[in-house]
Chain A
């Protein structure tokens, strides 16, 4: 339904989005997850036709956004990072205007406005000036604007940023509800945000898509083996040589150690094997004392950090 192929956006020498390729099918709820500055907003701006891509294409229902901009825009409702509101208008006037430029037929518009206001829960403030609304209500008005043209696809950029916990829960609930009837793409730099509502996560880091899977699979993929964190008195070369000889060790990733003259290493093995004794014996006989050994039970949060800080290592998994 919406497809990005080798999407690139450069700002001078800086590459904000770097060959992003993905395909999102009808009815999916997809989350773009990545730290600030990762390129989520830029990607969304290209998907919605606000920005042109430097390279690559966006197609919606088989139509290229550059060749059929109006048809594509009709199918997409966009809630940007800052909801695009006119402060001097009332909520109803604003939605009237939004409906008109979204080409909602005149005779349906009034009913449609009532409908979306009710859905996002702003009926009680429809006569208020937009500038006098709280942040949470402004976000809802923004959502109403995105929905008013009956688009198939909703693109929501950080829809819960800056809201208080109660408002966050309400907006999340609303998005889940909308996900039943729309294809939804949302972005966030906070993992629970995405895993709470999305069936699929695209992790974006430094403009690149570094992972694309369901939250469960992402967890499985990284928790496929068990991980041990070791701190050892010795040099990386010695430790590597010794540990590589231990049976069932699948992968070693070295980390910076806090303690001078020591090495920290994450040892990965198959899930069902307990290799702690073998490691202990091997290091002991090599004269490399173990200062610490801890099992790493990675949460999704840690996977996210892992992916966005050590992407080179993860690529090998």
Chain B
């Protein structure tokens, strides 16, 4: 794992990619800081941080696009996959490399906070909370980029797909607000989820009995939930999709509130996408 992490970090700075990412992020952040805080003499630092969050929509794909795509193009994935190193190690190493570059870049922006602290009035706890939020939020974004990169052979495709995936995650809140919230819609959606799960299980295991068992179990749970507490289905679809909404939970942090469940959420989200990456890579060997 360390070997992968080290090589990947080196490669960020042996190729222009690391500099492009840092340059792009710091440039845009700097412009925002100059116009939002310096010129207007504003001490609103968490407002600044909330404002620059959108840069990651463009910057994270730059950071993750080559992680796996480039290995496939160069066929170096053959070296990794025939060496005595496990796929989770490879995925974790690459993720941590991207995350390290992310953290280094983020650390540089602490300078701005110091400027505000010296010349203005910095609300320390809120700023600290916002930075902690950035760390966890960034890990989640990067995990999406890592997953997309593992599915593509072309860097540009990888970057574009990552961008649109992050954009979707970004827009989940407004979109899910327009989803139907009534009981019937909730039940239909829950049933579709069970069917999708069954299809996934059947395609992967080709085992008829397990699939039927899962289907029956799903049907029982839905029926039971219906008779016990119908309310769970109200707005179920919205609740389901808003689970993927990364940004909503960030707001607590910038108010200086450290919520354990939000941290657990971000870690779960990151872990889920890294796990999916491992699964995807394993699957590609079975084509």
- Give the B-binding residues of A (Cβ under 8 A): 11, 45, 48-52, 69-71, 73-74, 76, 78, 80, 82, 84-89, 93, 97-98, 100-103, 145, 149
Which residues on the A side are within 8 Å of B199 (C-beta)? Answer: none
How many Å from the CB of A172 to the closest CB on chain B? 23
Please provide the 4 A-B residue pairs with the shortest distance between their CB atoms, ordered closest to farther: A100-B3, A84-B79, A84-B76, A73-B84
Q: Contact partner of A76 among B3, B11, B82, B285, CB < 8 A?
A: B82
Within 8 A of A (CB), among B52-86: 74-86
CA distance A48 to B83 in the complex (A): 9
Say yes or no: B75 contacts A70, CB within 8 Å. no
**Chain A residues with CB under 8 A of B4:** 101
B192 interfacial by beta-carbon distance below 8 Å: no
Closest B residue, CB atoms, query A47: B82
Complex interface: chain A residues within 8 A of B85 (CB): 70, 101, 103
A-B contacts, 7 of them at CB < 8 A, read A84-B78, A84-B79, A88-B15, A89-B10, A97-B6, A101-B79, A149-B84
Q: Could you tell me the dominant secondary structure of chain B's interface residues?
A: helix
The answer to the question of B104 belonging to the interface, with a C-beta cut-off of 8 Å to chain A, is no
Pairwise interchain contact B80-A78, C-beta atoms closer than 8 A? no
Question: Size of chain B's interface in residues, with CB distance under 8 A?
Answer: 25
* CB within 8 Å for A86 and B84 given contacts A97-B3, A97-B7, A100-B3: no
User: Chain B, 1-36, contact with A by CB distance < 8 Å: what is the 0/1 string?
Assistant: 011101100110011000000000000000000000
Instruction: Find out whether the CB atom of B83 lies under 8 angstroms from the CB atom of A86.
Output: no
B260 at the interface (CB under 8 A from A): no
Q: A70-B84, A89-B14, A103-B84 are in contact. Are A98 and B287 (CB under 8 A)?
A: no
Contacting B84 at CB < 8 Å: which of A84, A87, A89, A102? A102
CA of A76 to CA of B76 in the docked complex: distance in angstroms?
Answer: 16
List chain A residues, Cβ under 8 A from B6. Answer: 97, 100
Give every chain B residue within 8 A of A70 (Cβ-Cβ).
84-86
- What residues on B are CB-neighbors of A76 within 8 Å? 82
Least CB separation from B287: chain A residue: A11
Closest-CB distance, A108 to chain B (whole angstroms): 15
Further pairs besides A45-B78, A73-B84, A84-B75: 9, Cβ < 8 Å: A11-B287, A50-B81, A69-B86, A84-B74, A84-B79, A85-B76, A97-B3, A98-B79, A98-B83
Chain A neighbourhood of B227, CB < 8 A: none
Contacts of B209 in A (CB 8 A): none
Most buried by B among A78, A84, A98: A84
Q: Is the CB–CB distance between B285 and A101 below 8 Å?
A: no
Instruction: Give the residue name and chain of the B residue nearest to A46 (CB).
Output: B285
B279, chain A: closest CB distance, angstroms: 14
Query: Do residues A101 and B78 form an inter-chain contact, with CB atoms below 8 A?
Result: no
Could you say which of B76, B81, B287 contacts A86, with CB atoms under 8 Å apart?
B76
Within the complex, what minimum Cβ distance (angstroms) separates B59 from chain A?
22
The listed residue (A51, A69, A145) touching B79 by CB distance below 8 A is: A145
CB neighbours of A82 from chain B (8 A)? 75
CA distance A11 to B7 in the complex (A): 33
Task: For A71, list chain B residues within 8 Å (CB).
Answer: 84
B277 to chain A, nearest CB (A): 18
Instruction: Output the nearest chain B residue to A103 by Cβ-Cβ distance.
Output: B84
Per the bound structure, the CA–CA distance linking A89 and B286 in Å amounts to 31
Q: A80 to B4: give the CA distance in the assembly, Å.
A: 20
A17 to chain B, nearest CB (A): 14
Contact of A101 with B80 at beta-carbon distance under 8 Å, contacts A50-B285, A52-B286, A88-B14 already known: yes
Contacts of A74 on B, CB cut-off 8 Å?
Answer: 84
Q: What's the Cα separation between A98 and B3 when bound, in Å?
A: 9
Query: Bound complex: CA of A48 vs CA of B6, how far in Å?
Result: 25
Q: How distant is B4 from chain A, measured CB to nearest CB, in Å?
A: 7
Does A50 lie within 8 Å of B15, measured CB to CB? no
Q: Which residues on the B side are within 8 Å of A88 (C-beta)?
A: 11, 14-15
User: In the bound complex, how far is the Cα of B14 from the Cα of A93, in angstroms?
Assistant: 12
A63–chain B nearest beta-carbon distance, Å: 12
